[in-house]
Structure 1
Amino acid sequence: MLQRQSFGYWSMGLACLIFVGCSGGDSREYGSLSGMVTLNGKPAPTGTMVTMINPENGAATSAQVRTDGAYSFPRVQVGSYNVGFVAQGKETAVETNPDKLNQMVVDGTYKEPSKEAIIPEKYKTPETSGLSVSVDLGDNSHDFNL
């Protein structure tokens, strides 16, 4: 009987240690960020990737621009970020699937991207864009005009 009780106390103790050890959770703070991305005064191309990198801690995240030019990061670690933009949408990006691209050419449906819809080279990486944003606790809003 004593053995069974010792095992019971030991297993309860282990369970408590695991629970306490795992309950520390994520101590980082988060906010949200949303806004509009415009290019030449119009909404940025649908699917444009917005990439943010925190140069201090390396935290990085990406989101896509919707058809109305809006973007949203529902959960971002609090801090300052450098921001870059790369067009990914079907209207502006070169198709990355060669079979699909070839079929579009054969079908006559391929269209070259509009020059005014092409994001300038300088904005393509967070390191070269010269654009930044700060994210604080709670809801944050920031528009980018490229």
Structure 2
Amino acid sequence: MKKYLALFAFAIVAFAGCGPAGPEMGDVTGMVTFKGKPLPTGTITFVPETDGQPSAFAEIQEDGTYVAKTRDFGDGVPVGKHRVMIIAVKDHGPEAPVEAILPLKYSSDRQSGLTADVSKGENIVNFSL
């Protein structure tokens, strides 16, 4: 009986890591410019057109560059077509309202007109607004 219990325990441990590994991903980096200059702040979000795929996001750095990742699967963006939205605001402190840097249309993936087609491997996706 101990022999079967040991085999059962081994099988559970061996198969515990098996299961869906997540979506196929592509590495996505790029730069966002606004009126010809690097956008120094903001968040970019990739919303997949395929149901059931996770969204990806990135913080835009001071030089306008970004590296996209997902919350659950780490670096990268699921392979496929995505609608993109970019939000950038200036924060003038706790007493003042935030000021939008970009036109409001860019804050909606359905109105921005921005898209990305991500493939496996490295993808450089720049946005000139």
TM-score category (smaller protein): 0.7 to 0.9
Instruction: Give the structure-1-normalised TM-score.
Output: 0.72
Alignment pair present for 1:120 and 2:109 = no
Sort the Cα spacing of 1:119 and 1:82 in 2 relative to 1 into closer, same or farther, 3 A: same
Q: Pairwise mapping of residues 52-131 of structure 1 onto structure 2 (< 5 A)? A: 52-57=46-51, 58-73=53-68, 74-88=75-89, 92=90, 94=91, 100-102=93-95, 113=99, 118-131=101-114
Q: Which amino acid aligns with 2:63?
A: D
Which one has a larger percent strand, Structure 1 or Structure 2?
A: 2
Q: Give structure 2 stretches of 5+ with no counterpart.
A: 69-74
- Cα RMSD of the aligned pairs, angstroms, is 2.4
Instruction: Give the structure-2-normalised TM-score.
Output: 0.80
CA distance in 2, matches of 1:64, 1:71: 6
1:15-74 C-alpha deviation (Å, 9 max, x unpaired): 31452253234152111001110011111132x100111022242121111111111123
1:106-126 C-alpha deviation (Å, 9 max, x unpaired): xxxx9x85xxx7201111111
Q: Give structure 1 stretches of 5+ with no counterpart.
A: 1-5
Sort the Cα spacing of 1:21 and 1:101 in 2 relative to 1 into closer, same or farther, 3 A: closer
CA contact 2:48–2:78 (8 Å) conserved in 1: no
The percent identity for this pair of structures is 30
Q: CA deviation at 1:12?
A: 1.8
CA distance in 1, matches of 2:116, 2:94: 36
Task: Provide the aligned length of Structure 1 versus Structure 2.
Answer: 122
Which one has a larger percent helix, Structure 1 or Structure 2?
A: 1
